[in-house]
Amino acid sequence: MGTIIINSDGTQTNERTGKTIPPQPSEYHEYDVAADMWIDARTLDGVKARTWDRIKAARCMAEAADFACDGVVYQADKDRIVGATQLALMAQAAGRPYSIDWTLSNNTHLTLDAAGMIAVGAALGAQVAEAFAIGLHLRQQIAAANSFEELEAIVWPARSDV
């Protein structure tokens, strides 16, 4: 078993070889005293799992991003939009009028009728579906990757402004 000596200047020395240990190349590297070198301790499966976690987080952000419907920008408040869309559908099915005042992403207000609210719900649904389609495509890339470099290159696509 080897020992690492911590010098007064903060550098480290491999006691067995007497060589100064170079800085840790990344947080994933562990120093192997016997081999006198830094070893990348990651596994391909582990990096695939972390890459998928990173993509899922980006997917959640994409789902929650503001979206446009009929030239107006809305906040992606799923619970409120789904609830209001259901009420609009029920009113429409019963032949009753429906109206709701909605706060937009820029904090202005808009009054929507049933058809308008249903369109907002459909636009949000389309955004969520697109995010899942992108996530599925990226997950397939992750599964097919054979190196850390390939996995690091897999990123969520940049979003164009709404």
Containing 118, the helix (H) or strand (E) segment is helix 114-144
pLDDT for 13: 87
Q: What does the pLDDT look like over 2-33, one tens digit per residue?
A: 788 888 998 888 888 888 888 889 888 898 88
E-state strands within the chain: 4-6, 12-14, 20-21, 29-32, 37-40, 67-69, 72-74, 99-103, 109-113
pLDDT digits (tens, 9 = 90+) for 60-98: 999 999 999 999 999 999 999 999 999 999 999 999 999
The model's pLDDT over 103-124, given as tens digits with 9 standing for 90+, comes to 999 999 999 999 999 999 999 9
pTM (2 d.p.): 0.77
